[in-house]
Structure 1
Amino acid sequence: MALLKWSAVVVGMGLGLINAPAAMAAAFVSDQADAKGFVEDASLNLLLRNYYWNRDNQNGAPDARDWTQGIQGVFTSGFTQGTVGVGVDAFGYLGLKLWAPERYSVPGYVSGNLTEGADGHPDDSYGKAGAALKVRVSRTLLKAGDMQPSTSPVFAVGGSRLTPVTVSGLQLMSSEVTHLDLEAGHFYSGTSQDQTNRNGSLWAAYANRPSSAMDYAGGRYALGDTPWSLGVYGGRLEDIWNQYYANLNYTRALSDSQSLAVDFNYYRTTDQGAARAGTIDNNTFSLQAGYTFAAAHTLTLGFQKINGDTPFDYVGTGDNNRPGDSCFIANSVQYSDFNGPGEKSWKLQYDLNMAAYGVPGLTLMTRYVYGYDIDGTHLSPSSAYYGMYGADERHHETNVEAKYVIQSGPARDLSIRVRQAWHSATAGDPDGDANEFRLIVDYPIAIF
């Protein structure tokens, strides 16, 4: 089900892999011994985001279209010097409606880029702000307040709409051991991308069931100077599920112009506590391999399998339950997650970096995903997922994307990104038929 999903494209290892953690990535936490001071290490950055959204829903469903302008301001302080460093991270977001006719803003069929008024139609503007206190000792960091956790595969939020999702709670991260990063978190509320209420709920996104808290712990380990890295996490969405995750990642340069990356992801989800979504017994895995050649071309082949009578589900946020980004499986793409009960899916993707042909900053991508053997007929009527899927459902999606980042001059780092998706499904698949176009212009500005 599309569910206004994030579908953020995370490019790992320069090989166009989706949601793949990069081996030897930067450590979660830097050393307090390197602290320069609260002000001396502070930064203030703006992101001006201009966003055109056009989702053409087929089979008689209302279309969704709007054009918006966002301003994202993020202040990051340094840490005070000494054994214990203290700092503050803060943000302020503003969203403006440039064009959003009511005929393209039917409640339940909106883009997720604007908040909605009491009549269900988009507001002319909205704003939200928040902050988190941070305390660092050695290479261990504790944060409390409003934030955007993005590294945990069982609880991550993202920012692929006009303004990002934020959540409130506690987060502990540690990088005391070389190549080993650990983290844990407790979160109790969330603000979706198109709401301003800081006390919004956390959800099982597809089940549409609220939860009062999300707890998780885990980490990643790069095996020294080898091409291997692994990650292990566990999370509990209170009274809904326990979810466990394992990742094995291999990336290796074969020559100056060739490289190989292999990424395996596995999720195990079972019902927990009061089991508000009903019985859950789900195993989900994906495996993909990307081969880069001639320093410009990458071919990626991926396979994904959902084992169980329920779909693979993940955490949503806000009182309107917008799905987050904790869906680190290979075939979660622009429109669909390919995560139906019993579903198998294959992906073929091609990435082209035009820097090798004299156009630095220009990248192109196309991919095709085919999902089949979806069967939702074995669910109990007491399940929150009951009735969502039929028997022997199938669907497929094609994506085309182009992105250009200006390399120099006054508009340096301004990016223009065009994304197009075509999705088609059999009658009983909840994702339905849709064509979706997005044009996103991002202009980052470093104030200091």
Structure 2
Amino acid sequence: MVAGAPLSASADFIGDSKASLETRNYYFNRDFRQVGAAQNKTEEWAQGLILRYESGYTRGPVGVGVDAIGLLGIKLDSSPDRTGTGLLKSDREAPHRAQDEYGEVGVTGKIKVSDNTLKVGTLIPKLPVAFSNDSRLLPQTFRGGWLNSTEIDNLSVDLGRLDRVNLRNSSDYEAMAVYNGVSRNIRLGRHLDSEKFNFGGATYKWSPDLSTSYYYGGLEDIYKQHYLTLNHVWNVTKGQALKSDVRFARSVDDGESNVDNRALQAMFTYSLGGHAFGLGYQRMDGDTGFANINGTDAYLVNLVQINDFGNQDEKSWQARYDYNFAALGIPGLTFMTRYISGDDVVVRGRSGAGKEWERDSELGYVIQSGPLKNLGIRWKNASMRSNFTSDIDENRLILTYTVALW
């Protein structure tokens, strides 16, 4: 029995493991509509490869496992006057030139005791206070430790610390900073970045259709954030439902910064057959705009293709329409369009409030059967206009294919 124990343990470790390879072919074009500017557009084409491996756990009261991810980005087309799409890594010696390739390998050790799992190493969090960005060629990754517990029915608890971030177009881990673009109007003191982001929170599912959560996130010496969410689905009748997504975030300084923001948001979506109609509202109050780790997606209902409408004092609304062509007998084909308008932005150094709007459309198709099953193609088009930053027209064409290796 003793001699056979290692084989029994490794059977779960190996037998429950899985691996997949995802390929992304990504074309990105952003026109700033600025005649005579030093750079009036960004345009690049690249190939991404994402290899994922997840082991099972060894048997016994304490299960041990390991996960790994391999990321590789390859330049297909770029030039010094068109860089900056976020697809490719800049060359250290020539910042306006993209490297031919870049990548990383991340390893995560994991320990499982009952329904408690601790992961240490490379992490890709999807939490309200730290939402990894995966909108380009390769996903953003972090380094740290993360404990998740589902010991109590319907309750999921998270606790952890991040100490380094690897941006979506980088292969270097670095200290974390707060995003301070456009009109966030955040002022920093001595601490420009931090090596400690502590987080914790819980989600409770009151019923199959109702859940609430509270999360805390703090970038040491820069900001602290408290985040509340409520999600509810009301099944009106067969084929009809109303989904409610309500969020509130309170961000304050932690040290010498001036971070002070209250973000109230709500998105309501009514679905009817293949149709979905959405209305959203987002309001920023306080001395600054929304606070989030630089490079992450701001967890806001009006985070869209180009903008997130999270500037100081900005009030924005969204109208959205989706259609799933499966209702017409064409599964895999989807369409989305939306319009977002924001105003009352505090723009430093100028009089009058800032205003902006964005219009997005997306058409996607995933092949459902045959030798090319799971091959997906998406076209994303967006236009943004603003009286305090650059106007933008943008197109993205993305081909994806994922194959299970075992």
Fold conserved (TM > 0.5)?
Answer: yes
1:298 aligned to 261, 270, 276, which one?
276
1:183 corresponds to 2:158: yes
SS in 1 for 2:53: strand
Q: Contact 2:321–2:336 at 8 Å: present in 1 too? A: yes
- Report the counterpart of residue 213 of structure 1 in structure 2: 196
1:36-185 correspondence to structure 2 within 5 Å: 37-59=12-34, 60=37, 61-105=39-83, 110-117=84-91, 118-120=93-95, 121-150=97-126, 152-185=127-160
Q: Contact 2:259–2:291 at 8 Å: present in 1 too? A: no
TM-score scaled by length of structure 1 = 0.83
2:397 aligned to 402, 419, 439, which one?
439
In structure 2, what residue type is equivalent to 1:347? Q
Q: 1:390 to 1:172 in 2, by over 3 A?
A: farther
Q: Contact 2:131–2:299 at 8 Å: present in 1 too? A: no
Q: Contact 1:141–1:172 at 8 Å: present in 2 too? A: yes
Q: Contact 1:309–1:376 at 8 Å: present in 2 too? A: no
- Report the counterpart of residue 250 of structure 1 in structure 2: 232
TM-superposition CA deviations, 1:108-144 (whole Å, max 9, x none): xx01111111201101111211101000011100011
1:375 corresponds to 2:357: no
Q: Contact 1:154–1:243 at 8 Å: present in 2 too? A: yes
TM superposition shift of 1:341: 0.9
TM superposition shift of 1:158: 2.9
1:324 aligned to 292, 296, 299, which one?
296
SS in 2 for 1:436: strand
1:345 corresponds to 2:316: yes
2:221 aligned to 239, 242, 252, which one?
239
TM superposition shift of 1:390: 5.8
Q: Contact 1:188–1:212 at 8 Å: present in 2 too? A: yes
Distance 1:148 1:442 in 2: 20
In structure 1, what residue type is equivalent to 2:306? Y
TM-superposition CA deviations, 1:21-55 (whole Å, max 9, x none): xxxxxxxxxxxxxx961100111110011000001
1:264 corresponds to 2:246: yes
TM-superposition CA deviations, 1:284-312 (whole Å, max 9, x none): 1111110011x100000001000012111
Distance 1:211 1:292 in 2: 43
Distance 1:224 1:81 in 2: 33
- Report the counterpart of residue 9 of structure 1 in structure 2: none
Higher relative contact order (CA 8 A, sep 6+): 1
Q: Contact 2:33–2:391 at 8 Å: present in 1 too? A: yes
Distance 1:182 1:305 in 2: 28
SS in 2 for 1:103: coil
In structure 1, what residue type is equivalent to 2:296? G
- Report the counterpart of residue 374 of structure 2 in structure 1: 413
TM-superposition CA deviations, 1:287-339 (whole Å, max 9, x none): 1110011x1000000010000121112112xxxxxx212x2221111101111
1:194 aligned to 158, 169, 172, which one?
169
1:228 aligned to 210, 217, 220, which one?
210
Q: Contact 1:66–1:99 at 8 Å: present in 2 too? A: yes
1:283 corresponds to 2:255: no
Distance 1:219 1:55 in 2: 39
Gaps of 5+ in 1: 1-34, 317-322, 378-386
- Report the counterpart of residue 6 of structure 2 in structure 1: none
Distance 1:99 1:390 in 2: 42
In structure 2, what residue type is equivalent to 1:306? M
1:307 corresponds to 2:281: no
1:396 corresponds to 2:357: yes
Q: Contact 2:70–2:105 at 8 Å: present in 1 too? A: yes
In structure 1, what residue type is equivalent to 2:53? F
Q: 1:390 to 1:300 in 2, by over 3 A?
A: farther
Q: Contact 1:128–1:196 at 8 Å: present in 2 too? A: yes
Identity among equivalent pairs (%): 35
Higher mean C-alpha displacement, 85-94 vs 156-165: 156-165
SS in 2 for 1:202: coil
Distance 1:254 1:346 in 2: 25
Q: 1:194 to 1:390 in 2, by over 3 A?
A: farther
Distance 1:290 1:86 in 2: 42
**Higher gyration radius (CA):** 2
Q: Contact 1:219–1:232 at 8 Å: present in 2 too? A: yes
In structure 2, what residue type is equivalent to 1:212? E
Distance 1:102 1:410 in 2: 39
TM-score scaled by length of structure 2 = 0.92
SS in 2 for 1:38: helix
User: What CA RMSD, in Å, does the superposition of the two structures yield over aligned residues?
Assistant: 1.6
After superposing on structure 2, the runs of 4+ consecutive aligned residues of structure 1 that deviate more than 3 Å are none
Distance 2:311 2:145 in 1: 32
In structure 2, what residue type is equivalent to 1:80? T
TM-superposition CA deviations, 1:219-245 (whole Å, max 9, x none): 1111034x3210100111010011000
Gaps of 5+ in 2: 1-9, 181-185
TM superposition shift of 1:216: 0.5
Q: Contact 1:309–1:375 at 8 Å: present in 2 too? A: no
Q: Contact 1:204–1:211 at 8 Å: present in 2 too? A: no
In structure 2, what residue type is equivalent to 1:239? D
